[in-house]
Amino acid sequence: MFPARSRTFFAASYPEGPCLLSHDLVRHPLLELDALAELGESLPAESVEYNRGDVSIGVDGKPAANGLTIGQTIRQIADAQSWAVLKNIEHSPLYAQLVADLLEELRDSIEPRTGALLGMHGFVFVSSPNAVTPYHFDPEHNILLQLRGSKVMTLFPAGVGRFAPDERHEAYHTGGARELIWQPGFICEGVNFPLCAGDAVHVPVMAPHFVTNGPEPSISLSITWRSEWSYAEADARAFNRLLRRFGRDPEPPGRWPARNRMKALGWRIARRIPGLG
């Protein structure tokens, strides 16, 4: 499903380099609107999120609800002025196999660098024309595959405090939101990845980004995974927040290939102690 050239590009850029890829999933029957509406109606409530899409790049908290059900939102996406995400689609065996098959094609490029594929998940995004997914970051290794319509993902470097302050990382990894504070001056420093059906983009762990949908309804599939390296970076961030509680000003964790073992171990011990974790 990933052509040989894309697998080569991915191997050369993983894990820290964003890169444009291609795929052969356009018009897959599991990824058409009616199938996705049925999937959304079958998933548990915690696996479904949908909001208004006519928002700005910078949003403090979640956008407002749209007044529709998830099935209505997806079936009426052309006019709903909304975006919807179906999380953990691997709850369905058919979708679990699709995610597993995609990641199996990349396993030989992933595991020598960041270790075993852990926590493999799939997310489907269905967006109205011109919808905006606000500025945020995600803790997973991620490849976003465009299936229908077009969008532009604007990516910023991971691990740069100006785009995502250390305190924001630390709050997220101890239960906070993933939305980030947008500054208009950032816009000239992002890298735009235009995506049409058949395109994909690799997004490094915690790389800040926002997404602007094109003039038609959009469907995208995100395949994600975790690694021991990504978990250690997350735990080191959480440990740094604990250090701040005791008046320290800790150094941020190192990005790959730094392993952050000591701070990660510190957090894994601390969270077992009442009042600390």
* pLDDT tens digits along 175-191: 998 889 999 999 999 99
- Residue 153, pLDDT > 90, answer yes
Identify the pLDDT of residue 219.
98
pLDDT digits (tens, 9 = 90+) for 194-240: 999 999 999 999 999 999 999 999 999 999 999 999 999 999 999 99
Identify the pLDDT of residue 117.
97
* Mean pLDDT of the 88-93 span: 96
Identify the pLDDT of residue 83.
84
- Residue 63, pLDDT > 70, answer no
On whether the CB atoms of residues 37 and 156 are closer than 8 A, the answer is no
Q: Which of 20-34, 51-65, 110-124, 254-268 has the lowest mean pLDDT?
A: 51-65
Report the chain's mean pLDDT, rounded to a whole number.
93
- Residue 107, pLDDT > 90, answer yes
Q: Which residue ranges does the chain devote to CATH 2.60.120.650?
A: 4-227
Identify the pLDDT of residue 203.
98
Identify the pLDDT of residue 56.
60
Identify the pLDDT of residue 276.
84
Closest among 149, 108, 147, 137 to 203, alpha carbons compared: 137
Give the span between the Cα atoms of 141 and 121, in whole angstroms: 10
CB atoms closer than 10 angstroms to residue 116: 11
With cut-offs at 50, 70 and 90, classify the pLDDT of residue 50. Answer: confident
With cut-offs at 50, 70 and 90, classify the pLDDT of residue 67. Answer: confident
With cut-offs at 50, 70 and 90, classify the pLDDT of residue 58. Answer: low
CB atoms closer than 10 angstroms to residue 141: 26
Using DSSP's 3-state secondary structure scheme, residue 93 falls into helix
What CATH number labels 4-227? 2.60.120.650
Identify the pLDDT of residue 133.
86
* Mean pLDDT of the 130-143 span: 94
Identify the pLDDT of residue 131.
87
Sheet of 150-155: strands edge to edge?
132-136, 209-213, 150-155, 191-196
Report pTM: 0.92
On whether the CB atoms of residues 50 and 77 are closer than 8 A, the answer is no
